Structure 1
Amino acid sequence: MPSQRFALPPEVPGLAARRIAADILDGVLHKHRTLDEQLDGAAAHPGLKTLSDRDRALMRRLVATILRRLGTLGHVLSRLLDRGVPTDAPRAQSALLIGAAQILWMDVPDHAAVDLSVRLVQSDRRAAKYAGLVNAVLRRCAREGQPLIEEVKSQTLDVPEWLLARWTAHYGADTAREIAVAIGHEPSLDITVKSDAAQWATRLHGETLPTGTVRTLLQGSVTMLPGFAEGQWWVQDAAAALPARLFGDVAGKTIADLCAAPGGKTAQLAQAGARVTAVDRSVGRMARLRDNLARLALEAATVVGDAAEWHGGSDGGAFDGILIDAPCTSTGTIRRHPDVAWLRQEADIAALAALQKRLLQKAVTLLKPGGTLVYCTCSLEPEEGEQAIAALLGAESAMRRAPIEASEVAGLAEILTAEGDLRTLPCHLPHQDPRLGGLDGFYAARLVKS
């Protein structure tokens, strides 16, 4: 509770960033709040406004590193603590995680990592009694932490057991381990450009992927990068940029983008000349979609509403194409959203699969005969991908699969299934610099209505 905190001297550099990092970690691990809602929008942490760009970047990196390495951190701290992490003072737990993450993986002097974590604990009435413990444990971590990591040599500690078991069952033990390694790396920034990818790759000190996405390791505020304000590109993972291309030539065609916000796929379709209707139930996310389209000087009709209940607009007309980027567990995006690993539960899959079924059934009714349906999810779970499409094809005799050819995905045959669907994995597209490799885990299928 805020009333339990002592006032802190503002002159201690870096302390505010670590205090906000501790609050946000507490939000994820104890209050089940996503990183996105705590970092952006109306519900964002109020203290973010007071941080410099440098401290904000430090805070984000701290939180992401801890969530990516949470299992390993738990192992190390359990070996250094005789009685385990204190459970009666969340701030003591956060301070230990923040200090250990800096010592083990970040370019922060050990003495600074220890000192600031101790100050963090001293500023909280419930946790202050653990200041000596935090000091001693983190000093030991600086001496003994790396050998303790080497001791387990496990790349799978940082994936929840239920998730690793599912990936092992579906993809095999070797691939599951490769996925676990891939999501442990801090990802690149992927952008979709309107034109001349090679020029933008040069300007942004990046490279062009085979699929046309520009990938860069530039950090800092995206809005300050060349070309952003001018509307020349938008942020979009390379895998997320593939489904909208599966319609082929869309110039002049009517396409409904269901569950459209924040609008990367809507922008792709509009840029390619489609007449797009973007549907999403979130008022806030739809406002962001409209802002993105305005910046990009692209046009689309927008509808705020439940796509599963939508009847196709005022004229009730059918569409040449329907794109469903369905709400899902998002387990394919953990490398970009490390909180997903710790917020999702296996029980979530069934409820989301039921919603995906409703969206697919609705899409069939909105599609013209001869029209194309592209269904995708950023999930690695088969219930939300392969099994959802198998069920639809079994129930809807008017729908048939239109297999995706390797030539449509830059010749990357490894990202296609035997049935001709798209299945990208975080370990795909390897690179000698791991930060420049990988894709979000996506599933996509293309169906045609007879």
Structure 2
Amino acid sequence: MSNASQARRRAIHLLDQVLGEGRLLSECYAAGALDKLPAEERARSQRLATDTLRNLERADRILQKHLKKSTPLTVHNALRIGTVELCQGGAAHGVVNDMVGIISGHRRHGKLKGLVNAVLRKVAEQGSAEWAKLRVPRLPKWLRSPLSQAWGAPAMLAIEAAHLAGAPLDLTAKPGADLSALDATRLPTGSYRIHGSVQVSGLPGFEAGDWWVQDAAAALPVQLLAAQPGELVLDLCAAPGGKTMQIAAAGATVTAVDQSAGRMARLSENLARTGLTATVVVGDALEQTGAYDAVLLDAPCSATGTIRRHPDLPHAKDGSSFGALIELQAQMLAHAWSLVKPGGRLIYCTCSLLPDEGECQVEDALEMFPDMSVGTRLQQLDGIAADWITEEGGLRLRPDYWPELGGMDGFYMAELRKAD
């Protein structure tokens, strides 16, 4: 089997895991799903899977015209990937032959190779014209409904368009580093953006530790924190470490805490590459003690703000775990508040588009803690539009913001000040 065929076969397997087992792509990669592929074909397999997940509704609309009855998931996923490739300009001969070969070799579904051949040949003939007429794919109803209720129908369409477009690569520069060798655009908030597909480790400044990968929205909570040299700062749920490195680069003494030993190993690698220092603790955020000038809580959340880079999420999840997450966020916020010194501050943030995980958490906390108030530093940040600031004084970011620049992740953050 050729490398291209291997990449397509593994992409089918990835879709089987996401759509059949409810597993995230990151979980599949961690389990070694692509380990045996050469680097180029590993990237190709990832691209095929993510492109198909972004265009799942489009692929299914085209396929329904050519399928008289339902097909086994593996076969249907082969047809989906083949349809997306063909409709995006893939060579019909290679795509069709590979998919037929993959299914013919399947021990359970080999007899359906003729169906795969017939359907994909029809798609090759007619699909491109049909594809161009299809609307932007919609999120599954379980997620689309609450987001439409929160932000309105026009915003929902713009968010879905941003999801389909995917995400460029954003970098945070180490203070004093020269990034002029990079073909990058400096964004209004200070991050640097690279469009197109690149090999991160091959970019100028990677080995020197001049920068790290971090979405522009994710870089803002630490700007809001405004860590000062000599301050004691606690970064809860810190891995993979972008915010930890920002705090350390500002000269503060930072302790980074996360439950995942694997992700914390990656954080330590990032610190070593950039020459920055932090105390790294593998542990439960709810078990931390002490008193800090500032605490950053990037709370566990639905991650619905990251769908433009993780299109598997709305298909692998169904929202059933969100209630437990929201309860955990409230517990973590309350515990984090107990670790803030009088006169200190807490930055609460989530990479979620759901108000229940952002605005509502802060509103509830303000009612619960008499010594808590919302800070005003948000108004001093560069690149922030006035209508991004919420009623309770937090910052709401959405994927449809900055459409002319390539969007941003969905995020919520608030600066909470403790009375002296």
- Give the TM interval when normalised to the shorter protein: over 0.9
Superposed CA RMSD: 1.7
Residue 192 (structure 1) aligns with: 172
**2:53 maps to 1:67:** yes
Q: Indicate whether 1:134 and 2:116 are aligned.
A: yes
**Structure 1 residues 18-39: Cα deviation after superposition (integer angstroms, max 9, x where no partner):** 1111111111111222111222
Does the 8 Å CA contact 1:425/1:442 hold for their aligned counterparts?
yes
CA shift at 1:221, angstroms? 3.0
Shift in Å, 1:249: 4.4
Matches within 5 A, 1:3-402: 10=1, 12-39=2-29, 41=30, 43-45=31-33, 47-51=34-38, 53-84=39-70, 86-87=71-72, 90-105=73-88, 107-150=89-132, 153-155=134-136, 157-195=137-175, 199-200=178-179, 202-310=180-288, 312=289, 317-402=290-375
Q: CA deviation at 1:145?
A: 2.1
> Retained in 2: the 8 A contact 1:205–1:218?
no
In the alignment, the residues of structure 2 paired with residue 298 and residue 196 of structure 1 have an alpha-carbon distance, to the nearest angstrom, of 13
Q: Contact 2:87 / 2:131 at 8 angstroms: preserved in 1?
A: no
Q: TM-score, normalised by structure 2?
A: 0.96
Alignment coverage as a number of residue pairs: 419
- The code of the aligned residue for 2:279 comes to A
SS in 2 for 1:370: strand
The TM-score normalised by the length of structure 1 is: 0.89
* Distance apart, 1:203 and its partner CA: 2.2
- Find the aligned partners of 2:264 and 2:208 in 1 and give their Cα distance: 21
For 1:293 and 1:218, the matched residues in 2 are separated by 26
Cα offsets for 1:119-149 (capped at 9, x unmatched): 1111212121111111111111122223434
Amino acid at match of 1:328: C
Pair 237,329 (structure 1): closer, same or farther in 2 beyond 3 Å:
same
Q: Could you tell me how far 1:13 is from its partner in structure 2?
A: 4.4
Shift of 1:150: 4.9
Structure 1 CA distance for aligned equivalents of residues 360 and 376 of structure 2: 16
**d(CA) in 1 for partners of 2:81, 2:403:** 30
The answer (yes or no) to whether the contact 2:189–2:381 under 8 Å persists in 1 is: no
C-alpha distance in 1 between matches for 2:402 and 2:252: 30
For the 8 Å contact 1:257–1:323, the answer to whether it is kept is yes
Letter in 1 for 2:406: G
CA distance in 2, matches of 1:64, 1:36: 12
How far did residue 448 of structure 1 move?
Answer: 0.4
* SS at 1:203 equivalent: coil
Q: Is the 8 A contact 2:227 2:247 kept in 1?
A: no
Find the aligned partners of 1:130 and 1:417 in 2 and give their Cα distance.
Answer: 54
Residues in 2 aligned to 1:445 and 1:421: alpha-carbon distance in whole angstroms: 4
Contact kept in structure 2, 1:69 and 1:158, CA below 8 Å: no
Whether contact under 8 Å (2:234, 2:254) holds in the other structure is yes
Mind listing any 5+ residue stretches in structure 2 that lack a counterpart?
A: none
Call closer, same or farther: CA 1:411–1:380 in 2, change over 3 Å.
closer
CA distance in 2, matches of 1:256, 1:60: 35
| Identical counterparts, % of pairs | 42
Partner of 1:79, secondary structure, is coil
